[in-house]
Amino acid sequence: MIEDTGTASGKHCMVRCPRPSVVDLVMTPSRDIARLLEIMAALRTRGSGCPWDLEQTFETIAPYTIEEAYEVADAIARGDLDDLRDELGDLLLQVVFHARMAQELGAFDFADVVESLTEKLVRRHPHVFGEARGLSPKAVEGLWERIKRAERAKKGNGPSAKEAASTLAGIAVALPALTRALKLQAKAGEVGFDWNDPLAVLAKIREETDEIETELAAGNRATAGAEVGDLLFAVVNLARHLDVDPEATLRATNQKFERRFATIERALAERGKTPQAATLEEMDELWNEAKAAERALRSSASR
């Protein structure tokens, strides 16, 4: 539109001054959560939104939600706080995306999510917002679990009363298998179904490996493969008794493997070779050299 604007000299001039559209307002970066919700709504608006965003469902977005949570964990593991900021934003987008789809169905909206969360935080922290004061971290953890069990038992639209009363109720099936195994074992341990010490668990691991060896010797590869699940479950149990997170430990081992294998590739490249052209014995020797170099480096750093 054409608008009459004053100038410093007191004269007026005619300038073209377009009125900001809704899209212009939405596109403006902001620290306000309301702006994020506006952007998400615009992306999901029929006829003017993003075709990809419009065709998504809870089921198709769920894998991205899980992936973003892992990328948050990765940024933390790398100590990259700039990346952590961005990854937390990506994870928040997942929450906003799910909330928007639910709003379109008339189920709930983002404000309902926030309200539910704030109610839950207050309810589960009576030692902060109530009368239960002076609790130790261990006592707080036990209180949290008792409150969660009571919540599950009261839910009319959740598990049945029998399921809610189960010791193992409430552990999400979609969790990574190692993490879910850890939680199942911890829950069972709360009612006394547990090993007494790590050495007993180690004996169980040996028992499982013996069973796998027996099946392999008999030519039963499929049965041996199934027994690997029991072995992994026992290894998770050992990690738990050593106060180690098996998921985090395996991630660290994956990184160590990548680092050492990269050392092998560099050493072979200096010899004009690729891993495909090298023998297993040659790569094994380079692997042991990489291990020895890492140990020497740790030893010198600890002095």
User: Rounded to whole angstroms, what are the CA distances from 106 to 34, 50, 181?
Assistant: 19, 21, 36
Q: Is the pLDDT of residue 2 over 50?
A: no
Specify whether 103 is located in the same domain as 150. Answer: no
Kindly report, residue by residue over 200-244, the tens digit of the pLDDT.
999 999 999 999 999 999 999 999 999 999 999 999 999 999 999
Residue 171: what pLDDT?
Answer: 87
User: Rounded to whole angstroms, what are the CA distances from 145 to 125, 130, 192, 238?
Assistant: 11, 17, 16, 23
Assign 5 a pLDDT band (cuts: 50, 70, 90). very low
DSSP code for 62: H
Specify whether 27 is located in the same domain as 52. Answer: yes
Assign 269 a pLDDT band (cuts: 50, 70, 90). very high
Specify whether 112 is located in the same domain as 155. Answer: no
Instruction: State which residues form the domain around 279.
Output: 248-301
Tokens standing for residue 189:
């341990």
The whole-number average pLDDT for the span 266-287 is: 96
Specify whether 32 is located in the same domain as 112. Answer: yes
72 within domain boundaries = yes
- Dist. CA 52–CA 42, nearest whole Å: 13
Looking at the structure of the chain, the number of domains it has is 3
221 within domain boundaries = no
- Dist. CA 303–CA 293, nearest whole Å: 16
* Contacts (Cβ under 8 Å, ≥6 apart) of 70: none
- Dist. CA 225–CA 221, nearest whole Å: 6
CB environment 286-295: b (16+ within 10 A), e (fewer): bbeebeeeee
Determine how many CB atoms are found less than 10 A away from the CB of residue 225.
Answer: 12
Q: Report the DSSP beta bridge partners of residue 3.
A: 15
Residue 133: what pLDDT?
Answer: 76
268 within domain boundaries = yes
